[in-house]
Structure 1
């Protein structure tokens, strides 16, 4: 179904930033970064974030533009990065790679034709998290004193676990998979315009009178990042079937269907590879001057593209310091 179809079942409502003040948010780093990476590439001239040797660091622009909202609303982001790739996800990654190669061929044709609108669209959709982007992201976050956690596998699973154990108040991601990993409260659209959305795990289960296991079964029937769903089965049909028959196995038996590795996929959501061996300091003290120099001097990003972002962070840090004395 694609994870977005889970929205049809999720209990979601808008939440004001005043209700989130002082919270810790475990952010699915790859999800957040990719969103800003593609947006930056689509709407920013490539010479702004490309070095003389052709290295692209659009991530640095995206980070500086995306982080201020955390600082402005007294939220501490804890960026959780993916670890090893889950075996069952390798087919999905290969499919995405093949799709990206097709888009890259289309991009080359658009460049030859001089179609600037199509070039911008395709450049955004062919982005990937290169080793340079991975490294520079961590280095910039370190300079801004933003906590970073390295997950053993899926970053979203680790972020959900941190929220379930009380290490943080919320999980932050655009993916609805957070529900399947059992994240109690998930913030979506956290750094977009307007107020964020709050996705509530317990309310979702209660609204449909299902268990966590049954919610995962519903998702597997529809399709996840780890498997194709059954043809013609959407979230409402899957919900009805699971409630009627009790679990995934009974539904499959009734339909005469089979989903390869279904038991392993189920375990990936219900018992993922996570760790409690991490620590972080929630008090952020960013070195804004060093971060600005890193972005504009070391990586030659145009200053006018990031200056306002740095100013917003600096203003927030200054205001926080003043508030402590009033």
Structure 2
């Protein structure tokens, strides 16, 4: 959901990459979308458009984004979304309608030649098409980067892997991993500088809440699955849950109501996830990966070569470190 209200409640600290190592279960759609929009915003479209007119800016984003993991002794496992729950359909529809408005504004900006507006709206109209998802997976396969298909929410699966030993961290720019119970979440993995570490147990201790109560707070504030209660912000929600004990008591005593609250609660506390075993010994075929990006999908080699070099250099150094 990317519930920004949780930012005010979560225990989050900036950490140094030097203090991190291990496996990160990355919410793939979240990570990929950020690199996609950044690439579109700052890269000439001719660099990632094929002769048939297909745009694969994602391939540039992936190659430029992966080095950050390997250069800092982190192995990413990319977790892709599965089926979208019907409770999320309203949010999906809202985002679709918003993107359509942006597309209308973009068309108008192109007609008037407003280059500033075009640059701004180009990134806002991006979406993860089937081609983008398929080509991303094709590149990750050639680089031998592990991929996991979630039954439903990618963040839920990433949190499950972090909670039950399949990964050391979840990785997401949103905050849902906290509600899904990920012990540690790395944020700002798509930004320059060091990441942020969001701590689940420290958050519960700081707020003096249980996991269930934290989810209740989120429901009161609003999630991707429901509108929040008007006038109830994060601090008020915490106070209400502490005072009354749980969501149902808050509803009863304050006269509030959230449609489908029981199902929403279960989506966070008992989501659709699967146990997986992932081979994290990465052994890329760089020649195949380069050909896939620059020949099969006709991406400008100059936009990706340094990224490939950085990945290769990092993995070579990692191999040397293991033998030293």
TM-score (norm 1): 0.97
Deviates more, 1:148-157 or 1:312-321: 312-321
SS in 2 for 1:149: strand
Pairwise CA distance, 1:154: 0.4
Task: Supply the distance in 2 between the matched residues of 1:325 and 1:16 (Cα, whole angstroms).
Answer: 25
Task: Supply the distance in 2 between the matched residues of 1:122 and 1:254 (Cα, whole angstroms).
Answer: 45
Question: Match of 2:304?
Answer: 306
TM-score (norm 2): 0.98
Runs of 5+ consecutive residues of structure 1 not aligned to the other structure: none
Pairwise CA distance, 1:322: 2.6
Asked if 2 retains the 8 angstrom alpha-carbon contact of 1:27 and 1:79, the reply is: yes
SS in 2 for 1:171: strand
Pairwise CA distance, 1:321: 2.7
Matches within 5 A, 1:200-219: 200-219=199-218
Q: Deviations over 1:257-296 (max 9, x none)?
A: 21100100000000000111x3321100111121111111
Question: Match of 2:316?
Answer: 318
Asked if 1 retains the 8 angstrom alpha-carbon contact of 2:31 and 2:190, the reply is: no
Q: Deviations over 1:128-180 (max 9, x none)?
A: 11110111010100111100000000010001001111111000001111110
Runs of 5+ consecutive residues of structure 2 not aligned to the other structure: none
SS in 2 for 1:54: coil
Task: Supply the distance in 1 between the matched residues of 2:138 and 2:266 (Cα, whole angstroms).
Answer: 34
Task: Supply the distance in 1 between the matched residues of 2:320 and 2:249 (Cα, whole angstroms).
Answer: 61
Q: Deviations over 1:39-84 (max 9, x none)?
A: 1111111111111111110110100000001111121101000000
Task: Supply the distance in 1 between the matched residues of 2:171 and 2:96 (Cα, whole angstroms).
Answer: 26
Matches within 5 A, 1:94-133: 94-133=93-132
Asked if 2 retains the 8 angstrom alpha-carbon contact of 1:70 and 1:191, the reply is: no
Q: Deviations over 1:102-126 (max 9, x none)?
A: 1100000001111111111111111
Asked if 2 retains the 8 angstrom alpha-carbon contact of 1:172 and 1:187, the reply is: yes
Pairwise CA distance, 1:2: 5.9
Task: Supply the distance in 2 between the matched residues of 1:320 and 1:9 (Cα, whole angstroms).
Answer: 37
Question: Match of 2:3?
Answer: 3
Task: Supply the distance in 1 between the matched residues of 2:277 and 2:88 (Cα, whole angstroms).
Answer: 28
Matches within 5 A, 1:266-281: 266-276=265-275, 278-281=276-279
Task: Supply the distance in 2 between the matched residues of 1:181 and 1:88 (Cα, whole angstroms).
Answer: 16
Within the candidate set 288, 291, 297, 1:290 is matched to: 288
Q: What is the number of residues matched between the two proteins?
A: 324
Matches within 5 A, 1:226-241: 226-241=225-240
Asked if 2 retains the 8 angstrom alpha-carbon contact of 1:2 and 1:223, the reply is: no
Task: Supply the distance in 2 between the matched residues of 1:105 and 1:121 (Cα, whole angstroms).
Answer: 13
Question: Match of 1:147?
Answer: 146
Task: Supply the distance in 2 between the matched residues of 1:313 and 1:108 (Cα, whole angstroms).
Answer: 38
Question: Match of 1:17?
Answer: 17
Pairwise CA distance, 1:324: 3.3
Deviates more, 1:205-214 or 1:280-289: 280-289
SS in 2 for 1:224: coil
Question: Match of 1:246?
Answer: 245
